[in-house]
Amino acid sequence: MTRLLALGLAFLTMIAPAMTAGAPLRVGTSAGPYAEILEDPRVAKLIAIYRSPEVKQFILDRFGDTIIPTW
């Protein structure tokens, strides 16, 4: 779980300067406004970790029926 949090924080620090400067992360394209971000291998790895069975079980154990993972 520590690795998951570290990756999440790393991702946030990567995008924080653009967010705080008021600049968009990505200007819209024909594929959608976030297509380039989602294709970034670092983001793909973060998404894969968040969608892992271990994280799903952690959410179910920690939050019960309050939060239901939908992946």
User: Is the pLDDT at 26 greater than 60, yes or no?
Assistant: no
Residue 62: predicted pLDDT: 94
Look at residue 69 and tell me if it is in a domain.
no
Question: How many domains is the chain built from?
Answer: 1
Look at residue 55 and tell me if it is in a domain.
yes
More reliable by pLDDT, 65 or 33: 65
- Nearest by Cα to 70 from 36, 55, 46: 55
User: Is the pLDDT at 1 greater than 70, yes or no?
Assistant: no
Look at residue 41 and tell me if it is in a domain.
yes
More reliable by pLDDT, 30 or 40: 40
User: Is the pLDDT at 54 greater than 90, yes or no?
Assistant: yes
Look at residue 9 and tell me if it is in a domain.
yes
- Structural domain of 56: 2-63
Residue 43: pLDDT band with limits 50, 70, 90:
confident
Cβ proximity of 48 and 54 under 8 Å = no
Look at residue 71 and tell me if it is in a domain.
no
